[in-house]
Every structure is written in structure tokens, then in C-alpha cells.
Amino acid sequence: MYELFILGELADKPMHGYLLHSILTSVLGPLRPVSWGSLYPILKRLEDEGAIEQVVSEESGPGRTKKVYRITPIGRERFMRLMAKPLEHHVDAEDIFRIKVSKFHLVELAVRLEILWQYKVFLELLRDGMDLTEKRVQDEPCISGEERPYILAAIDYDRVSYDARIQWVEQQISLVTENGQERTKP
């Protein structure tokens, strides 16, 4: 996940590690802190593999230099492969989707559409799982009559959330496919 983000950010422009950390924290949100101990080893590995390189920047002012990272052709190819990689159904899927959407401007329409369709399938599986969970809760004799309505309310909360996300994805798919051209909608 971090590799996809780093390569995507550096595909836009060279950056130093602090800025990469700041942007990643913004993309993932306040409940998903990014440790420096995670970020810098990935930067080092990507540099060792030739996907990124360090360059000296004069952006800090006259006479002051700052080391920044920039993507290489090898890194661009890897980034494109990661964007096209099918969305795996696991705990990081939401964050990976969020990162991919933030980099839609770097990939072709067909890749964007595929990412949206894969995420829609993921959400539909989760929503359908709520239906199965609801049935199990209704049929479970060990759950008290007092507790059951609250468990079912929590399941309904998840179902409504998935339905709203599915609706958003369907709108995005419609915008991308409308007349074969993409329009953006905030």
C-alpha cells in the first residue's frame, strides 16, 4: 500500500520524505497513523531497487539543500502495474482504493473503470455478508431477545454504509463512461 502511494506521489513531482509522510497521513485519515519507521525503510528499498532516486533540491533557499526523491522509469512501470493490480479483499482494501482514486489522473480511463468495478464487487460482497450475518443472528437461540434488536441495528448500519458506498461508485462509473469521456464530480 505504501509503495503504491509513494510511487504515485513521486509520479506527480519529486518530494522529500516529510512531505510524503504528511500527504499519506492526509489521504489515509487521522485514524490511520503512518509511522516514520514504516515509511523510510520503504523509501530505502525502492531506492535500492532503482524505482526512485535521491536528488538534491535548492527549494529550501539559497545555499541550503534538501534531499528529495523522484521516480525513475522503473518506478513508473511498477506504479502502473500496482494501479492495474486487482483489488484484494482484505483489511487494507479501503485504503488501497482511496490511494488509487487519488492517482486516477495518472492512469487511463480503462484502468480507472476497472478499479471502480473491482471496488464495487468488493463492497457488494461485504453487503451480502451482512445479509448472511443478519440471518445467523435471527436464527441464533443463544442471543437474548433484548440484545437481538441492537445487534440487528448494528448490522443494518453496516448495510446502509455499504449501500451508500456502492451508490457513490456507481455514480463514478457513470461519470467515467458517460459518452466515453470522463467528467469529474466533487
Domain 2-88 fold is: Arc Repressor Mutant, subunit A (1.10.10)
DSSP state of 87: P
Domain residues of the chain, as ranges? 2-88, 108-180
CA 52 – CA 132 distance, rounded (Å): 46
Q: What's the pLDDT tens digit per position in 136-181?
A: 999 999 999 999 999 999 999 999 999 999 999 999 999 888 756 5
- pTM of the full predicted structure? 0.83
d(CA 96, CA 102): 10
Beta-ladder partners of 53: 70
- 47 phi-psi bin (left φ>0, alpha ψ -120 to 50, beta other): alpha
- Please, are residues 8 and 53 in contact by the beta-carbon 8 Å criterion? no
